Amino acid sequence: MNQHPLFPRLFLVFFLWTGLAQAATPVPKEPAVGAKGYLVEDFLSGQAIAEKNADEPLEPASITKLMTAYVVFQEIRGGTLSLEDKVRISEKAWRTPGSRMFVEVNTQVSVADLLKGVIIQSGNDATVALAEQVAGTEEGFASLMNHHAKRLGMTRSHFVNSTGLPDKEHYTTARDIARIARAMIEEFPEYYRWYSERKFTYNDITQYNRNKLLWRDESVDGLKTGHTDSAGYCLVTSAERDGMRLISVVLGTKSEEARADASQALLNYGFRFFETHKLYDSGSKLTSARIWKGTTDSVDLGLNDTLYVTIPRGEYDNLDAAMQLQDQIIAPVAQDQPLGRVVVRLADRLVAEKDLVALQAVDEGSFWQRIVDEALLYFE
């Protein structure tokens, strides 16, 4: 395993930019949070900073509506729906129990207004109306939710309705919720801003966003609350400070105040004691490797995705980046084919590990080139 030649230069640039290497900050134990499950992770790296029962299936209550909105946004992007479309409110949508936007049966309401009713007011009536518009029935819409959940890697989630009303077959995890939150922020920034709006008025009724942190912490700009008697009080939150974005998920607390306090404590802990750095850009050449029996004798290697790491504050200069390459690389090689690994460690702890991939395809060489390389390989 060879020391990566670019990593010392990467650190030198950071050192010169700051002027002085930052001393490491001792990291205390994560805050005690009274919740059935929780997770706080960095948005860019996806690394968990603190967690408890993060992979245990739990009831999400109205946090379900993150997936509902995500499916609707996908439909808008795909051209099958628009914000200006009018949706007829069915009796089923109108009668759906729980929080409400107060739409009236048989009226026509725009998709844009219904989305705000879902996101800001957490209206179950608006949620069912959108589900029926997209898929005909709420059951059909749930199948779309599960399709997108699988695509996003939400492996421990299953949805049977669009609202989050209790059902023993309706569940997700803190880690899966963080996945859909990241996808929402990353894929739909033009709509994500709605999650920071504090109030929405429809039919002369003004309702306020239930996310208390929107009033307490100016760095918080989303996402969603949830509550049922069986699920408890839940909150998924995102905040950005000094270019670092964190996502916290808190499930199954005892009150509105408890979920807000727990989320705030997790966010403060993450921002205070951790920092995120970009190590390598996607598509950039990190090294080259010998390739045999090809039209060329070397292939450039890099990463498919930008590599970020989240580490304790002041520990940047203690990172160690190394590469592991295949012993022999034989043509043909396809573009993006994995040919090794980048491994990043902090002391004895693995921080990140990513595939090194071919940045270009290399075809099989001529008959003569293959014969020559076969002979050379004999002596390797």
| Bridge partners (DSSP) listed for residue 274 | 312
Give the active site residue among 90, 122, 157, 248: 122
Does 62 qualify as catalytic in the annotation?
yes
Does 65 qualify as catalytic in the annotation?
yes
Structure tokens at 347: 């002391």
Strands (E), 254-293: 274-280, 287-290
Contact assessment for residue 305 and residue 23, using Cβ atoms and an 8 Å cutoff = no
Structure tokens at 249: 């998920």
- Where b means 16+ CB within 10 Å and e means fewer, 352-364 reads bebbbbbbeebee
Does 116 qualify as catalytic in the annotation?
no
Percent of residues in the chain assigned helix, strand, coil, to nearest 5: 35, 30, 35
- Where b means 16+ CB within 10 Å and e means fewer, 306-345 reads ebbbbbbbbbbeebebebebeeebbbebeeeeebbebbbe
Catalytic (active-site) positions: 62, 65, 122
